[in-house]
A and B are shown apart, each in its own frame.
Chain A
Amino acid sequence: MAVLNEEQTMLRDAAKSWVQEKSPVTAFRKMRDSGVELGYDANAWNEMAEMGWAGVIIPEEYGGSDFGYLSMGLILEETGRTLTASPLLASGLATASALVLGGSDAQKSEWLPKIAGGEVVGALAIDEGAHHAPEKVALKAEKSGSGYKLSGSKSFVLEGMAAGLLVVSARTSGAAGDTDGITLFLVAGDAKGVSRKRLHLADSRGAANITFDGVEVGEDAVLGEVGKGYALLEKTLDRARAGLCAEMLGSALQAFEITLDYLKVRVQFGQVIGSFQALQHRAAKMFTDLELARSAVEAALQAIDADTPDVPELVSLAKAKMGDVFHLVSNEMVQMHGGIGMTDAHDAGFYMKRARAAEAAFGNQGYHRDRYARIQGY
């Protein structure tokens, strides 16, 4: 664990106790069983927003606390422990980052206070296929009167069902695959021509495919510069990826600890199975890998706070490493629990399903290994 300052320690402790009391895994199970359209419990989200968590990276003048990304990571690590489903990542981190980094004063004033207060949920509508590929944008934005008309569709939009504000990547010139010619737009969730379809994914979180059917927006909906949105998008995505890594770290740690507890109580052949060296060494390897992953995740968050030039490579390092480790730990959780781990009544399956969805989100291990090497010129 990174060395924390006083406010970070308080924030972490507050998150820890709220998650344990108000949002254990049983709450996630209840949400899943209810089949709620949003993919999260709105009451729990309200409580999180009331504690100021949605405004942790938002400047004070726009209603946030400006505590930074490591602080946000601490909260996400805690919520990740119990698989708490909420728009904290998509809205309070990703959408807020896009606005803080690229928004005009008017855009920030209009949206950031509402995001910080939790009244509006923001979401990134970026990908158009099954694999993360932020440059493969086909959704068109054509000049229309004094504004633009958006036509096309976005897939796997995290918190797409709840979104009252969408950050949409659109093509104003060039072809899908070009990094030039991409423009980001702010589109209200209730704009005419926006329609959404809920996606039921294995991890039970809120995701949607969204169609834009000639959606009219004004000039003032452009976020950043026309045709040069890719750089802003990458910066935004790196922040979202780092936040997701923190959540994955929490989930992986909890999965590991639950498994470790089981190894200490499950008796076979007249002794607890945790006394078997074959299992002990696998546990030791998981612990080793978790420590390595933690270092990578914290380094990425700290680099974002310090705004150093190595943010992209550290983020890809973290996402690649964290993805591998969560993958391993979630598989071992099921395997080491044996038959009980295969049952829906046990939580192991939740962690494994969440691992795969989180691995795929914002680029899987293969994507980030490739990106890590490309950034360094090989």
Chain B
Amino acid sequence: MADFGGSDLDAFRTEARDWIEANFPKSLKGKGGMMMREERSEPTPDMDAWRKAMGEKGWGVPTWPTQYGGGGLTPAHGRIIQQELGRVGAYNPIGGMGVMMFGPTLLEYGTEAQKQQHIPPIVKGELQWCQGFSEPGAGSDLASLQTRAEDKGDHYIVNGQKIWTSGAQWAQWCFCLVRTDTTKKHEGISFVLFPMDVPGVEVRPIPLIAGNSPFCETFLTDVRVEKDQVVGPVNGGWTVAKRLLPHERSGLSGAGGGGGGRSLVKLAKEYVGSDESGRLADTDLRTRVIMNEIDGRAFQLTAMRAMAESKANSGPSAATSIMKNAGTRWMQDRAELTIELMGHQGLGWEGDDFTAEELGAVRSWLGGKATTIYGGSQEVQNNIISKRILGLPDPK
């Protein structure tokens, strides 16, 4: 436990409330959404102060162990912090790939020295990580990756090209999959770490259909990787990566909650109007809005059910496997409906002829197309359900 006595949740709630009250800068109220934006701006002094306060407290990662700076709390305590942050319009400033994916994996597979080196800066939000997994020739078939790591005795020399390394232009470190054995596929891959400012690392941002993006190409030319920066066994990186991917998928399955903007129904009423009985005037659109609303509600009910089940059975529920496809399908459908109901106003690219909401809808619609491609495409998810849950065989 951190710096409070007793495990009583009510007492903890009071403590959390008081601490947030005392430390959260009022100027940042309701600004949490900005943290999720794809484009970065320089942090203000208040943002820095808030990140430092949460980082010191360890509450950005409440369940991580205290010896590396984490909160050392139970998930129930973590939920209370989340609720209390939300109550006053505060946000958790500690995030990114280090928190969502790399940290939990390193805590499980890392050596003590690796944990001591890498976890505290993640907990404090001091540095950002990026993920070097996909390659131009290794997308859904990730294990066919070709980036080579040559054994040079006390270190490796890495050559290759990574793509979709999101946030690489801002990251200080990279966790990366490289090939240490060319004679095997899955068993020839290692999971390595290197700083982004070592010689031979070149990053180029990739503009996407939605405009600027956090995605990059990362070229690796004779990059030196130290041997103590291999996570898990040499040639055992696939196992580590597989463990990490569910963290990625659960983070991608619907966290956006439909864009967080106004409800589809409200927008539809405004843009297409209602008839005298209060129904949306466009009956065809109305039906499709209803179906999307129903799908969204069923998805949320499933998320709640999966949570209740995994709590009761102390293991993941089968319902978890459907979350990414169901969530992304719903959100993409919603984004399509949003621009459709806006008509031509829902196709504005830039300029003051369009509201911020309209311009945002266009970018979300386009940007959202990535959600069924990354983190295991829709098709890969269906393969996983077919094979692991339904037990259907591989083709001969």
Contacts and interface: CB of A to CB of B under 8 A. Distances in A.
Contacts of B268: 378
Contacts, number: 124
B295 A260 contact: no
A369 interface: yes
A374 B108 CA distance: 50
A264 B391 contact: yes
A378 B291 contact: no
A264 B389 contact: no
Contacts of B289: 373, 378
Interface in A238-286: 260, 263-264, 270-272, 274-277, 279-281, 283-285
B294 A321 contact: yes
A298 interface: yes
B45 interface: no
Contact of A285 (B278, B318, B382): B382
Given A274-B393, A287-B390, A317 B294 contact: yes
Interface stretch (A75-83, A124-132, A195-203, A289-297): A289-297
Interface in B105-158: none
Interface in B279-306: 279-280, 286-287, 289-291, 293-295, 297-299, 301-302, 304-305
Interface string B154-192: 000000000000000000000000000000000000000
Nearest to B268: A378
Contacts of A274: 392-393
A271 B274 contact: no
Given A281-B386, A320-B294, A378 B269 contact: yes
A295 B279 contact: no
A364 B110 CA distance: 55
Nearest to B389: A287
B395 A276 contact: yes
A293 B293 contact: no
Contact of A317 (B298, B319, B325): B298
Interface centre among B308, B309, B319, B387 (most CB of A within 10 A): B319
B273 to A, nearest CB: 11
A28 interface: no
B379 A272 contact: no
A17 to B, nearest CB: 22
B308 to A, nearest CB: 5
A345 interface: no
Nearest to A263: B392
B242 interface: no
Given A275-B396, A372-B293, A378-B269, A292 B302 contact: yes
Interface of B: 265, 268-269, 274, 278-280, 286-287, 289-291, 293-295, 297-299, 301-302, 304-305, 308-309, 312, 318-319, 322, 325-326, 379, 381-383, 385-387, 389-396
